[in-house]
């Protein structure tokens, strides 16, 4: 809640909006999953990404880069799009991966809250898989509201 001026030195509060709460929560989310945090299961990543990407009304395409012990190196939002798409360029993804010499987890959110893969998701995932034919652990996670889909868990990567 946010404070408002009121007579007699009293404070009245307005209820915070969902956007204000999510904006304030981002530093807490980042503290929970800092560099060096061990990524022990897909569920841990999915929970982190659902929280991290909550409230966006546009698509983003972040990478989580990991060292060879599956510890977080960095969360990087590479691309930002519109309400229903983000342009993803495999060359830029490869550049980031090579810059940190890391394994990678791809992700993107769905403001529509539908985590099911689309044909466009399948196409870009295939392009990324082909462009990144490196011995890196990788997966693609789609976050839609409180739900998410892991391509690795479905055997698609």
Residue 103 — pLDDT band, cuts 50, 70, 90?
A: confident
pTM: 0.67
Evaluate whether 106 touches 140 at the Cβ level (below 8 Å): yes
Task: Identify whether 78 is part of a domain.
Answer: yes
Task: Identify whether 116 is part of a domain.
Answer: yes
The count of structural domains within the chain is: 1
Q: Which domain holds residue 101?
A: 38-150
> The domain that contains 103 carries what CATH number?
3.40.140.10
Q: How confident is the model at residue 155, as a pLDDT? A: 65
Alpha carbon distance 14, 83 (integer Å): 29
Q: What is the pLDDT of residues 9-39, one digit of tens each?
A: 677 888 888 777 777 776 776 667 778 888 8
């Amino acid at each position: 809640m946010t404070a408002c001026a009121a007579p007699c030195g009293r404070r009245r509060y307005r209820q915070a909006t969902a956007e204000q709460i999510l904006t304030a929560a981002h530093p807490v989310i980042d503290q929970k999953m800092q560099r060096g945090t061990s990524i022990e299961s897909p569920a841990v990543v999915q929970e982190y990404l659902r929280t991290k990407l909550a409230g966006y009304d546009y698509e983003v395409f972040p990478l989580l880069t990991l060292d060879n012990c599956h510890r977080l190196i960095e969360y990087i939002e590479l691309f930002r799009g519109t309400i229903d798409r983000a342009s993803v360029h495999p060359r830029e993804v490869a550049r980031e991966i090579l810059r940190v010499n890391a394994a990678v987890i791809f992700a993107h959110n769905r403001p529509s809250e539908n985590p099911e893969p689309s044909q466009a998701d399948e196409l870009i995932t295939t392009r990324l898989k082909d462009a990144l034919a490196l011995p890196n652990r990788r997966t693609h996670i789609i976050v839609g509201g409180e739900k998410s889909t892991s391509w690795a868990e479905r055997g698609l990567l």
